Amino acid sequence: MKKKSDYIWKLGLFVIAALTIFLVAVYFIGKSQNLFGDTFSLKAKFKNVSGLKKGNNVLLSGITIGTIKDISFISDSTVVVNMVIREEVHQYIKTDALASIGSDGLMGDKVLTISPRNGLALMVKDGDMIVSNEAAALEDLISGLKKSIDNAEIITKELSEFSYKINNGKGALSKVLTDENFAKSIDVTMNNLKASSNEFAVFTKKINDKDGTLSKLMTDPYYANSIKRSLSGFESSVSDLNVFTAKLNTGKGILPKLINNERLANSLDSTLTNLQTGSENLIEIEQAAKQNFLLRGYFKKKKKQDAKKALELQKTVSANK
């Protein structure tokens, strides 16, 4: 009898524990599924729900406010998602709210997120359809990620080839980085450029100096007009020279003939030669006459007269001083 009562007591304790666990489970499940308390419903249309299922959570600004009641087709390309939302957050959801599908963490369950916008719209009503934003499909994300990885691989390969060419190549860039003589040459070139830049700065300063000659030539109207007159005179001289040259080439005077007539030029050359020969003969005759005893007295007398005139001229000059 005692054993039977112990058995009944244990069985009753087990039943009570099981019932308690069941009630607690029902409570939490009911709470998560919004089976208790006041609720209202909302809808959203999607072309692709991306794995969203009945019972998944609905979030508002990251806080769970409801669950997915059901998902159904309304056409061959559109799906409507029905949500059950707790009444206590009704006032925070406006008609311009945006519904989108995301994930609860990187590998977590899908969730439907309601995002508020400007907050100036009216509050939603029970059964309203809110605007949806199509989420990028996982396949699209993976495809985009694969393209990025492929591009990164290509870039890495090209960078590797570029580095190899720089370290082992013979191009200009390789010389800049590895050839010491080339680097020195570039250094000398840069120093020369720096020196030229400094000289140009000095030249510019001289140009800007108001008292400098170059500045006056560039800014003073007097110098500008003077240069203009000089250029005009030079231009006139060039014109006259052109006219003179034309006359030499086409004229009928003695000078054009001397230039263009070869026969006259040869005749003139012969005449000059004869004159030179004649002057040399006259000098010889004069020397011979000086040695002749009949004319020697004449030349001595002439020499004395020339010396006397020179002495008188010298005295006159001294007296005037």
At 100-120, the pLDDT tens digits run 988 887 677 899 999 888 778
Both tokens assigned to 175 = 């010389």
Q: Give the predicted TM-score (pTM) of the model.
A: 0.39
Check residue 106 and give its pLDDT.
66
Check residue 316 and give its pLDDT.
73
Which region among 58-72, 96-110, 297-311 has the lowest average model confidence (pLDDT)? Answer: 297-311
Span 46-56, mean pLDDT?
Answer: 88
Closest CA to 112 of 41, 180, 182, 178: 41
pLDDT at 270 over 70: yes
Distance CA 191, CA 40 (A): 81
Spell out the residues 6+ positions from residue 41 whose beta carbon is closer than 8 angstroms to its own: 69, 82, 83, 84, 85, 126, 127
Q: How many CB atoms lie within 10 A of CB 269?
A: 10
- Amino acid letter, 264: L
Closest CA to 47 of 100, 94, 85, 113: 100
**Highest-confidence segment of 9-23, 74-88, 158-172:** 74-88
Describe the crossing of helices 262-291 and 296-320 by its angle, rounded to 10 degrees. Answer: 100
pLDDT at 256 over 80: no
pLDDT at 46 over 80: yes
3-class secondary-structure state, position 135: coil
Which region among 8-12, 60-64, 147-151, 190-194 has the lowest average model confidence (pLDDT)? Answer: 8-12
Q: What is the pLDDT of residues 141-179, one digit of tens each?
A: 677 778 888 888 888 888 887 777 766 766 666 666 666
The better pLDDT of the pair 80, 270 is held by: 80
Check residue 80 and give its pLDDT.
95
Strand partners, 58: 66, 112
